[in-house]
């Protein structure tokens, strides 16, 4: 039986032999695309080829792509674990033709690979072909049908509708008919009962799609209409785990060697058994799947967090924790313990896992611990809600509050309520959830118009490393509208000096000016599908004019200073703290920079000073920028360039060097480190387990910082007036004086209490063998307690009740000598509870000492009076 490693290798080799270039998986976490958070199909990394925005080096490619389907158009999260063939993270094997071969070869090769190389029995395979859609004027895919007919009996070819057999990237963009290959792995008896053809696309767990061959022919426009693409492409995707299931003769993806080692480990750690009870099986599958997704995401640089992609990752992990908590009785962190096994399993093909092992384990453990605390808190809250409820139905809004504010999962709420004989208003909950979704949808919805093409050449040249100003022409533009930013225009030029947001650096701002003085402002620049897109609030009067495009120089210079400083900071951290330091995130603004990196302890203030000194030394050395814009990737790495995990690099990279610092980077930099002027760390903090954050400023911001410091210092001197010659000495003297005065006050208060003690002693009266006093005193609570215990050490038959009042708050303090608690049946706790009612309060304590707080000073005299009843 072939193991999964061999299966993967054979796929790639098969297409390599057919002149395909093996490319590596793009990162699973997408950083620079506003339309997509995670890679959800093999084609994502090739989108720009289909759109014609970039020309591929090789027209044929093959790969295995890490995919994550947990958000947006493809979201399988809720199925995962419940069924046996959907995962959150999975590998998609693919072969690609960019304007090269089309349907015929794609079909022929897919069949050859499955039946001749992998030797899958032809009788378990079914084919689907697009039947056409009249409403859109789309004909049936006759070509595909005819090619298939030559190799499989027609009884195995099934026509499918638009939902199943027409692939679209999103609401807009390249699309086309698809032809899928399905497998029927049921037993012979079952096959005899229902023919496999009837179960294709019917969500049967053993009649599943394994391979989708998409034939890109059209472009979907904003108004929904289709136009023919200039070139035709092939985009295929085969689920690796499903293929393993078929080739290894299993009925479930989880029974293949991709998952069994992790499942065995879960069984051992949680002392449970897979394959006995359905709800336990589901939990084990959920955990086995999710630990993969989360580990790969962290390795790609996406840590769990409270927003965006980070929040999606956090939710996946929480779903796993929750299943472990409820069904495997895991009340302590355990998922992090599976990471070792996962790495052993996958590291050969995905070395990033091994490299990032420490951080993966630490982050998962920390997330588990914190969510388990939340769960414990949520249980208490839920108990309170149940306790305060009378009609046995918990409202949707209460459940939603638990869910939304405390992250308490709704199915857990439902389960617990059910166990306690309560009902949950699920409809009410769904309504609340829907309301919230609509709120966020409305806030983020973007309406994108079609590109209006002025010059039909999508290739755009970036010249912004060398110049901040150039003559440009607008090649295309479109209107976009969102609630957040209102109506905006996106412009693409033939050539541009504007840097598009990327690599942590903000996009450039600036303006366009036509020859007759028409000016429009560029408010931001971003990249999308390899196009540099300039945002503006309005369009120029004549779009076909030539324009002078000018980048805001001040912002660019400040940003460049911060970007170069970020490289020096990275180098400094590796030098001061060690080479385990790796970049985990970076934000380069014009005003400041932020750098996240792996390190397992707080950076001490001495270390921070060393880091600052290191960077400032490099600044003073005035190191010139040395860049190589087209360096072969391997060569750059060999020369010691720092590359980032989770970043997509081409074959040729830009290497940026300042002295000993060398990084692969597309950002804009100063010409000389001297231009940074000065580097100041403003903050150091934790971001996640094992990840620290440094914030810093440079250049103008550093100048401003020093100016402000000086001004503040001058103000201090002004306040100190005559003593300003030596402010430190003056302030120290003030502090010493202050301390001395505090001591004096303390002593005075003590003396006062001592005097009071004498007075009170004289006031004690003797009632039935008890020394008693009930009195209002003007002391703080600590002194009252001291006083009571001091008197108690002198008398063994004491019963005291003190009342004190402060800002409308009343406190009753009761003391009873231990010796007489039983004998005289005096219980301080009980006394304050009863008398506390008179001051509208409550409290309690020990039989010999107790206090009660209340808010009704009017009740004090009565409470003091009644105190005597207990002995009278
Ligand atoms: P399904 O209908 O089974 O969800 P799909 O139509 O969503 O599949 P495609 O988008 O065509 O699938 O993806 C190509 C291939 O990737 C599929 O044929 C399948 O083998 C695999 N695949 C898709 N989604 C998943 C998933 N969530 N987990 C594992 N493999 C998947
Ligand atoms: Mg699907």
pLDDT in tens, 812-853: 999 999 999 888 889 999 999 999 999 998 888 899 999 999
- Residue range 538-544: average pLDDT? 94
492-518 tens-digit pLDDT? 999 999 999 998 999 999 999 999 899
* Ligand 1, atom 7: closest residue by C-alpha: 74
- Residue range 61-65: average pLDDT? 97
Query: Would the CB of 209 count as within 6 Å of ligand 1?
Result: yes
Whether 678 has a binding-site annotation, put simply, is no
Ligand 1 centroid distance, CA of 291 (Å)? 20
Ligand 1 centroid distance, CA of 183 (Å)? 13
* Ligand 1, atom 14: closest residue by C-alpha: 237
Nearest ligand for residue 85 CA: 1
* Ligand 1, atom 8: closest residue by C-alpha: 209
Query: Would the CB of 259 count as within 6 Å of ligand 1?
Result: no
Query: Would the CB of 618 count as within 6 Å of ligand 1?
Result: no
Query: Would the CB of 212 count as within 6 Å of ligand 1?
Result: yes
How confident is residue 766, by pLDDT bands cut at 50, 70 and 90?
very high
What dotted CATH number matches 556-696? 3.30.980.10
Query: Would the CB of 254 count as within 6 Å of ligand 1?
Result: no
Do 603 and 596 touch, CB atoms closer than 8 A?
A: no
How confident is residue 383, by pLDDT bands cut at 50, 70 and 90?
confident
Dihedral sign of CA atoms 345, 349, 350, 351 in order: positive
Ligand 2 centroid distance, CA of 74 (Å)? 6
pTM of the model: 0.77
CA angle 155, 160, 161 (to 5 degrees): 155
Compute the distance between CA of residue 223 and CA of residue 200 in angstroms, rounded to an integer. Answer: 33
Question: For position 460, what pLDDT does the model report?
Answer: 86
Question: Which is it for strands 461-462 and 486-493: parallel, antiparallel or unpaired?
Answer: unpaired
CA angle 608, 613, 615 (to 5 degrees): 100
Residue 681 tokens read as 């760390």
Do 127 and 181 touch, CB atoms closer than 8 A?
A: yes
Give me the CATH topology for the region 749-870: Diaminopimelate Epimerase; Chain A, domain 1 (3.10.310)
Equal fold, 4-258 vs 749-870: no
Q: Ligand 1 pocket: which of 11, 78, 90, 254 to mutate (most atoms <8 Å of CB)?
A: 90
211 CA: nearest ligand 1 atom: 18
35 has pLDDT over 90: no
- Residue range 373-387: average pLDDT? 85
Q: Work out the number of other CB atoms within 10 angstroms of the CB of residue 226.
A: 15
SS3 at position 248: coil
299-353 tens-digit pLDDT? 998 999 888 899 899 999 999 999 999 899 999 999 999 999 999 999 999 999 9
* Ligand 1, atom 2: closest residue by C-alpha: 209
Query: Would the CB of 292 count as within 6 Å of ligand 1?
Result: no
Question: For position 698, what pLDDT does the model report?
Answer: 98
Helix, strand, coil: what percent of the chain each, to 5? 45, 25, 30
Ligand 1 centroid distance, CA of 230 (Å)? 28
pLDDT > 70: what percent of the chain? 100
What dotted CATH number matches 4-258? 3.30.930.10
Question: For position 191, what pLDDT does the model report?
Answer: 94
Question: For position 447, what pLDDT does the model report?
Answer: 83
Nearest ligand for residue 203 CA: 1
Ligand 1 centroid distance, CA of 209 (Å)? 7
Whether 204 has a binding-site annotation, put simply, is no
List of residues 6+ apart from 187 with CB closer than 8 A:
none
Question: For position 147, what pLDDT does the model report?
Answer: 97
Query: Would the CB of 91 count as within 6 Å of ligand 1?
Result: no
List of residues 6+ apart from 120 with CB closer than 8 A:
114, 183, 246, 247
450 has pLDDT over 90: no
Ligand 1 centroid distance, CA of 168 (Å)? 14
Give me the CATH topology for the region 447-547: Elongation Factor Tu (Ef-tu); domain 3 (2.40.30)
CA 79 vs CA 70, 84, 254: distances in Å: 10, 9, 14
CA 685 vs CA 574, 600, 604: distances in Å: 17, 12, 11
Give a three-class secondary structure readout of 189-217. Answer: HHHHHCCHHHCCCCCECCEEEEEEEEEEE
Nearest ligand for residue 80 CA: 1
723 has pLDDT over 90: no
Do 490 and 500 touch, CB atoms closer than 8 A?
A: no
201 CA: nearest ligand 1 atom: 2
Nearest ligand for residue 164 CA: 1
Compute the distance between CA of residue 366 and CA of residue 534 in angstroms, rounded to an integer. Answer: 41
Compute the distance between CA of residue 309 and CA of residue 307 in angstroms, rounded to an integer. Answer: 7
Compute the distance between CA of residue 774 and CA of residue 798 in angstroms, rounded to an integer. Answer: 11
706 has pLDDT over 80: yes
Ligand 2 centroid distance, CA of 76 (Å)? 7
How confident is residue 708, by pLDDT bands cut at 50, 70 and 90?
very high
Do 513 and 550 touch, CB atoms closer than 8 A?
A: yes
Ligand 2 centroid distance, CA of 202 (Å)? 12
Cα distance from N-terminal residue to C-terminal residue, the chain: 94
Whether 563 has a binding-site annotation, put simply, is yes
In the predicted model, what is the mean pLDDT of the chain? 92
Query: Would the CB of 236 count as within 6 Å of ligand 1?
Result: no
446 has pLDDT over 80: no
Compute the distance between CA of residue 288 and CA of residue 257 in angstroms, rounded to an integer. Answer: 12
Domain locations in the chain as residue ranges = 4-258, 259-385, 447-547, 556-696, 749-870
872 has pLDDT over 90: no
Question: For position 803, what pLDDT does the model report?
Answer: 96
* Ligand 1, atom 30: closest residue by C-alpha: 239
179 has pLDDT over 80: yes
CA 769 vs CA 24, 104, 820: distances in Å: 93, 110, 10
């Amino acid at each position: 039986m072939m193991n999964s490693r061999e299966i993967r290798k054979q796929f790639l080799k098969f297409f390599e032999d057919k002149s395909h270039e093996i490319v590596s998986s793009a990162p699973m976490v997408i950083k620079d695309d506003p339309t997509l958070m995670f890679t959800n199909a093999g084609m994502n990394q090739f989108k720009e080829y289909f759109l014609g925005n970039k020309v591929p080096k090789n027209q044929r490619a093959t790969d295995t792509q890490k995919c994550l389907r947990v958000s947006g158009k493809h979201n399988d999260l809720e199925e995962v674990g419940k069924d046996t063939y959907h995962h959150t993270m999975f590998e998609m094997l693919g072969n690609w033709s960019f304007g090269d071969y089309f349907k015929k070869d794609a079909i022929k090769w897919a069949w050859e690979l499955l039946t001749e190389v992998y030797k899958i029995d032809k009788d378990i395979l079914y084919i689907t072909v697009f039947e056409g859609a009249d409403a859109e004027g789309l004909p049936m895919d006759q070509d595909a049908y005819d090619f298939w007919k030559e190799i499989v009996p027609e009884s195995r070819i099934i026509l499918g509708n638009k939902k199943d057999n027409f692939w679209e990237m999103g609401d807009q963009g390249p699309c086309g008919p698809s032809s899928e290959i399905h497998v029927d792995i049921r037993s012979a008896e079952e096959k005899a009962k229902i023919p496999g053809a009837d179960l294709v696309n019917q969500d049967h767990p053993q009649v599943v799609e394994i391979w989708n061959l998409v034939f890109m022919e059209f472009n979907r426009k904003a108004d929904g209409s289709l136009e023919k693409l200039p070139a035709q492409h092939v985009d295929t995707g085969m689920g690796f785990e499903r293929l393993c299931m078929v080739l290894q003769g299993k009925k479930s993806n989880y029974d293949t060697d991709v998952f069994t080692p992790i499942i065995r480990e879960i069984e051992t750690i949680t002392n449970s058994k897979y394959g006995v009870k359905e709800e336990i099986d589901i939990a084990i599958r959920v955990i086995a799947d999710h630990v993969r997704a989360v580990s790969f995401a962290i390795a790609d640089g996406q840590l769990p967090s409270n927003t965006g992609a980070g929040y999606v990752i956090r939710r996946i992990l929480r779903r796993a924790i929750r299943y472990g908590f409820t069904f495997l009785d895991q009340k302590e962190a355990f998922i992090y313990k599976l990471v070792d096994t996962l790495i052993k399993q996958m590291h050969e093909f995905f070395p990033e896992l091994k490299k990032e092992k420490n951080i993966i384990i630490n982050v998962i453990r920390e997330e588990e611990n914190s969510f388990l605390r939340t769960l414990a808190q949520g249980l208490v809250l839920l108990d309170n809600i149940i306790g305060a409820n009378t009609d046995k139905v918990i409202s949707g809004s209460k459940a939603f509050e638990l869910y939304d504010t405390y992250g308490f999962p709704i199915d857990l709420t439902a389960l617990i309520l059910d166990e306690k004989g309560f009902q949950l208003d699920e409809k009410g909950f769904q309504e609340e959830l829907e309301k919230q979704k609509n709120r966020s949808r409305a806030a983020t919805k973007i309406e994108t118009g079609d590109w209006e093409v002025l010059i039909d050449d999508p290739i755009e040249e970036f010249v912004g490393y060398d110049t901040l100003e150039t003559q440009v022409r607008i090649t295309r533009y479109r209107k976009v509208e969102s609630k957040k930013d209102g109506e905006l225009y996106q412009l693409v030029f033939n050539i541009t000096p504007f840097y598009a947001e990327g690599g942590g650096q903000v996009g450039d701002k600036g303006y366009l000016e036509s020859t007759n003085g028409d000016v429009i402002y560029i408010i931001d620049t971003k990249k999308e599908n390899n196009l540099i897109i300039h945002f503006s609030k309005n369009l120029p009067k004549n779009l076909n004019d030539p324009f002078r495009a000018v980048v805001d120089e001040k912002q660019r210079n400040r940003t460049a200073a911060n970007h170069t400083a970020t490289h020096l900071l990275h180098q400094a951290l590796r030098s001061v703290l060690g080479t385990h330091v790796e970049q985990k995130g970076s934000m380069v603004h014009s005003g400041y920079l932020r750098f996240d990196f792996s390190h397992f302890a707080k950076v001490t203030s001495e270390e921070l000073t060393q880091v600052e000194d290191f960077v400032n030394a490099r600044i003073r050395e005035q190191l010139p920028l040395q860049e190589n814009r087209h360096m072969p990737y391997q060569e750059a790495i060999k020369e010691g360039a720092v590359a980032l995990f989770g970043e997509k690099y081409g074959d040729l990279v830009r290497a940026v060097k300042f002295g000993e610092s060398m990084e692969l980077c597309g950002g804009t930099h100063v010409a000389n480190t001297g231009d940074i002027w000065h580097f100041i760390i403003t903050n150091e903090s934790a971001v996640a387990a094992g990840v620290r954050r440094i914030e810093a400023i440079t250049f103008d911001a550093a100048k401003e910082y020093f100016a402000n410091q000086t001004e503040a210092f001058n103000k201090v001197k002004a306040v100190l007036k005559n003593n300003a010659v030596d402010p430190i000495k003056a302030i120290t003297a003030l502090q010493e004086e202050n301390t001395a005065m505090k001591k004096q006050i303390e002593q005075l208060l003590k003396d006062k209490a001592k005097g009071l003690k004498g007075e009170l002693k004289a006031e004690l009266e003797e009632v039935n063998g008890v020394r008693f006093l009930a009195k209002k005193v003007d002391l703080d609570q600590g002194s009252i307690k001291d006083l009571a215990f001091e008197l108690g050490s002198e008398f063994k038959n004491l019963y005291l009740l003190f009342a004190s009042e402060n800002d409308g708050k009343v406190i009753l303090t009761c003391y009873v000598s231990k010796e007489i608690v039983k004998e005289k049946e005096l219980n301080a706790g009980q006394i304050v509870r009863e008398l506390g009612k008179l001051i509208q309060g409550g409290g309690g304590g020990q039989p010999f000492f107790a206090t009660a707080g209340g808010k009704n000073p009017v009740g004090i005299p009565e409470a003091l009076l009644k105190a005597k009843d207990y002995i009278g």
